[in-house]
Structure 1
Amino acid sequence: MANNPIAAPPPAKKRKTSLSSIPDDVIVNVLARISISHYRSLCLVSKNFYSLLSSPDIYFARSLIGTTDVHLYVCLRLPTPSSTSHHHRWFNLGYRQGQLSLVPVRTLSSSSYSPDRLNSTSVAVHSEIYQIGGGSNEEKRTRAVRVLDCRSRTWRPAPDMKVARKHARSYFLDDKIYVTGGCTRREENWGEVFDIKTQKWKPLPKPPSDHDHKGVVYGGRLYAFTSMNNNNYAYEPKEERWVQEAGFVGLGPITGPLCVIGNEIFSEHDRKYTWYNPRNGNGKQQVIDGLNDVYKKRANNYRTIQLVNHGGKLVIIWNETRRKRKRLWCAVISLEERSTPLGTRMRGKVERCDLLLDSVHKSYMLSSCLSVLV
């Protein structure tokens, strides 16, 4: 009788694992480790992905594992449909089809704009943006402070200032917010300081000068300077007073926007973007090399409105106005300091130089541009 071996069992079918079978907390844990720059594309994967990436849970998970990205937040003053009033709205600077673009920030409570925050000042504090004071030309100044949590995309109120202000300036240093100007009686109420930890405001004395001061945070100190003289002052928080800083030079000629990257201060001089180290002895501004592509795209009637330190890169934003229409441009530049026989030079590489807004009404204005850790 012929042998009749036992037939081998058929191969087991591979079970397909769908995303719907994976717990949401596992998906959130994975997505939290991915750069936020990819979230816009990931939202298209499924409705569940869109829901998870739109939830505050994803940002809570990112904070727990210490994942952060540097993002640029841009606040624009936009006209209402009636064109008789304006409101503010926040955007992220992102990429669309390989070009820089403005992506609206969709907040989860209230809205991403606030009509009563015209002429306010904004400052980045870790992963939050403090919007301070404000008021339109017809309205009174306000003491109000609102905070945008860029992780949860929610607004919340913060303690009011002691003095109502609009068109003020603000700076962040050592977990404290310094606010200057923007009030009526400058001598008495020139500035105030908000302690992030205690959530309390206290007065900030005025530097010993009669001129209007601009400020800059450099080397762990807050400096005040004017374009009228070479008297620069540094604030001593422990002593709560300003001291003259003779070794900090070169700030006087700067009248436009500036930013600090590393040990250098970047600004604009004679239609060229410049850099210098205020502690090198002479404070001489030097032109950044390699920016011809930026200069070629600028129109003759341009105006630089923001210079921003964006994760060590220089972001330049300028606008052009013609016949009641406006265009808004942005350039992202990586920097490299080089030693040459003639001294140290700064070389810039233009990574992107794109048009953000084309032919919009001239009432469009950029109010703030801040680099935030999210």
Structure 2
Amino acid sequence: MANNPIAAPPPAKKRKTSLSSIPDDVIVNVLARISISHYRSLCLVSKNFYSLLSSPDIYFARSLIGTTDVHLYVCLRLPTPSSTSHHHRWFNLGYRQGQLSLVPVRTLSSSSYSPDRLNSTSVAVHSEIYQIGGGSNEEKRTRAVRVLDCRSRTWRPAPDMKVARKHARSYFLDDKIYVTGGCTRREENWGEVFDIKTQKWKPLPKPPSDHDHKGVVYGGRLYAFTSINYAYEPKEERWVQEAGFVGLGPITGPLCVIGNEIFAEHDRKYTWYNPRNVNGKQQVIDGLNDVYKKRANNYRTIQLVNHGGKLVIIWNETRRKRKRLWCAVISLEERSTPLGTRMRGKVERCDLLLDSVHKSYMLSSCLSVLV
């Protein structure tokens, strides 16, 4: 009998899987686990990706699995072309070609609604930004409050304040927004507080000294730094004189809190201070020589921000009738030395964000938002 070899079966054809065959809810579940910093590039994959990444579904899925990113939102006051007026524009601070850059935030507001308010104050509340007070021109004050949902990129109105304000200050503590100053009769309407849960405003007791102040949220209290320092106790709803912060020098510029430390600018140097240290003093942060080299003599620090535990420094440099905007990102490390604890900063980035903009430009806000 002749041997008839058995023919080998033909190779199986590889099945091609199209993205269009994958259910949208599966794609959303996968995309929700990816950092938002990659969404801009992923939008270019397909129209379906763009649609899914632009919908509220992606952020609902991120909240379900507990995925959040910390993003910096920057608000600039820019001159309107061919006009003497100004408008506000929001940007994300991100990276482009290895450098820090400003990416415009494209909001989905209706044409009949404009949240633009000059001289307003802004505060981050979880994944939202509250823009409070200000006015449509330099002179006007308003009680209006508007909210930018950074996930859906939409604006909505919030309950008005009891008092019209501009150039006020705002702070977020324990699901409440505290707004101080910015009104004509400060001795009577020094501040008010907004409860996020009840959506209601009520007057805030004024401290014994209502002089202009620098404020900061630290250790579950709101502090007002004047010639005498005061702390507001939310549970007791009253101000108490604060005997601490002895080693903290005069506060003339911006400041922020990272962990247990307060960061500020003092004598043209960036400093840190821990009020819980016995006999603690304000100390210069080590390792920032690269930042100091890039600053001109005519610079002005306009913002210090806690960005996920890193210190972000933003400053202006004025050259004749033009301005330049700089930004540095600093990672921090405490070190024990024979002379005591030192804070060392590592300059991760120090880049020029805007070059040669009109002198009337201003940075209104720089906020760290969970998205």
> What's the TM-score bracket when you normalise by the shorter of the two chains?
over 0.9
**1:89–1:113 contact (8 Å) kept in structure 2:** no
Q: Which secondary structure state, in structure 2, belongs to the residue aligned with residue 138 of structure 1? A: coil
Alpha-carbon deviation of 1:113? 10
Q: Which range is displaced more, 10-19 or 333-342?
A: 10-19
In structure 2, do the counterparts of structure 1 residues 199 and 115 end up closer, same or farther at CA, with 3 Å as the change threshold?
Answer: closer
Residue equivalent to 2:48:
48
Q: Runs (4+) of structure 1 moved beyond 6 Å?
A: none
Q: Does 1:284 align with 2:286?
A: no
Q: Cα distance 1:114–1:344, how it changes in 2: closer, same or farther (>3 A)? A: farther
Aligned 1:26-37 pairs, distance under 5 A? 26-37=26-37
After TM superposition, give the deviation of residue 292 of structure 1 in Å. 0.5
Show CA shifts across 1:284-314 (max 9, x none).
2111000000001111100000000000000
CA contact (8 A) 1:264 1:277 kept: yes
Alpha-carbon separation, structure 1, partners of 2:170 and 2:324: 27
Question: Contact 2:54–2:152 at 8 Å: present in 1 too?
Answer: no
Please, which moves more after superposition, 133-142 or 217-226? 133-142
Q: Is the 8 A contact 1:56 1:153 kept in 2?
A: no
Kindly indicate whether the alpha-carbon contact (under 8 Å) linking 2:147 and 2:158 is maintained by their aligned counterparts in 1. yes
Gaps of 5+ in 1: none
Deviations, residues 83-114 of structure 1 (Å, cap 9, x unaligned):
31111111110000000000111112237994
| CA distance, structure 1, for counterparts of residue 96 and residue 51 of structure 2 | 22
The answer to whether the Cα contact below 8 Å between 1:338 and 1:345 also exists between their aligned partners in 2 is yes
Given that residues 115 and 146 in structure 2 are in contact (C-alpha distance below 8 angstroms), is that contact kept between their aligned partners in structure 1?
Answer: no
Structure 2-normalised TM-score? 0.96
Quote the offset at 1:359 in angstroms. Answer: 0.7
8 A Cα contact 1:73 1:372, kept in partner? yes
* Mapped contact 2:115–2:155 kept (Cα < 8 A): no
1:249 correspondence with 2:256: no
User: Cα 1:61–1:54, aligned 2, differ >3 Å: closer, same or farther?
Assistant: same
39-48 or 266-275: which moved more? 39-48
Deviation at 1:3, TM superposition (A): 4.1
Which whole-Å CA distance do the structure 2 matches of 1:177 and 1:285 have between them?
Answer: 29
Contact persistence 1:234–1:244 (CA under 8 A): yes
Give aligned-pair identity as a percent: 99
Residues 254 and 304, structure 2, Cα contact 8 Å, conserved in 1: yes
Instruction: Kindly indicate whether residue 156 of structure 2 is the aligned counterpart of residue 159 of structure 1.
Output: no
Question: Is contact 1:106-1:112 (8 Å) kept?
Answer: no
Q: Secondary structure at the match of 1:48?
A: helix
User: Contact conserved, 1:119 with 1:135, CA < 8 A, in 2?
Assistant: yes
Larger deviation: 340-349 or 40-49? 40-49
* 1:8 Cα offset (Å): 4.0
Cα 1:6–1:112, aligned 2, differ >3 Å: closer, same or farther?
farther
Report how far residue 4 of structure 1 moved.
3.7
1:296 is the counterpart of 2:293: yes
Residue 24, structure 1, aligned to residue 24, structure 2: yes
Question: Structure 1 318/224 Cα, relative in aligned 2: closer, same or farther at 3 Å?
Answer: same
Change beyond 3 A, Cα 1:8–1:104: same
CA distance in 2, matches of 1:275, 1:14: 61
In structure 2, distance between residues paired with 1:141 and 1:291? 40
Deviations 1:253-279 (A, max 9, x none): 011000001111000111110111123
2:299 touches 2:316 (CA, 8 Å); kept in 1? yes
- On the 8 A contact 1:337/1:346 being kept in 2, the answer is yes
Q: Which moved more, 1:205-214 or 1:94-103?
A: 205-214
Moved more, 110-119 or 265-274: 110-119
Task: Report the more deviating stretch, 110-119 or 134-143.
Answer: 110-119
Query: Would the aligned equivalents of 2:248 and 2:273 in 1 still touch at CA under 8 Å?
Result: no
Query: For 1:357, which of 333, 354, 364 is the aligned residue?
Result: 354
Question: How far is the alpha carbon of 1:6 from its aligned partner?
Answer: 5.2
> Paired residue for 1:344?
341
Cα distance in structure 1, aligned partners of 2:340 and 2:136: 48
Q: Contact 1:333–1:351 at 8 Å: present in 2 too?
A: yes
SS at match of 1:115: coil
2:181 corresponds to: 181
Deviates more, 1:47-56 or 1:188-197: 47-56
Q: State how far apart, in whole Å, the 2-side matches of 1:258 and 1:158 are.
A: 28
Counterpart position of 1:222: 222
User: After alignment, is 146-155 or 41-50 more displaced?
Assistant: 41-50
Indicate the RMSD between aligned Cα atoms, in angstroms.
1.8
Question: Is 2:66 the partner of 1:69?
Answer: no
Contact 1:249 1:281 in 2 (8 A): no
Contact 1:100-1:356 within 8 A present in 2 as well: yes
Q: Give deviations 1:109-151, integer Å, cap 9, x for gaps.
A: 2379946411000000111100000015544210010111111
CA contact (8 A) 2:99 2:349 kept: yes
Displacement of 1:80 in angstroms is 0.7
1:116 alignment partner, SS class: coil
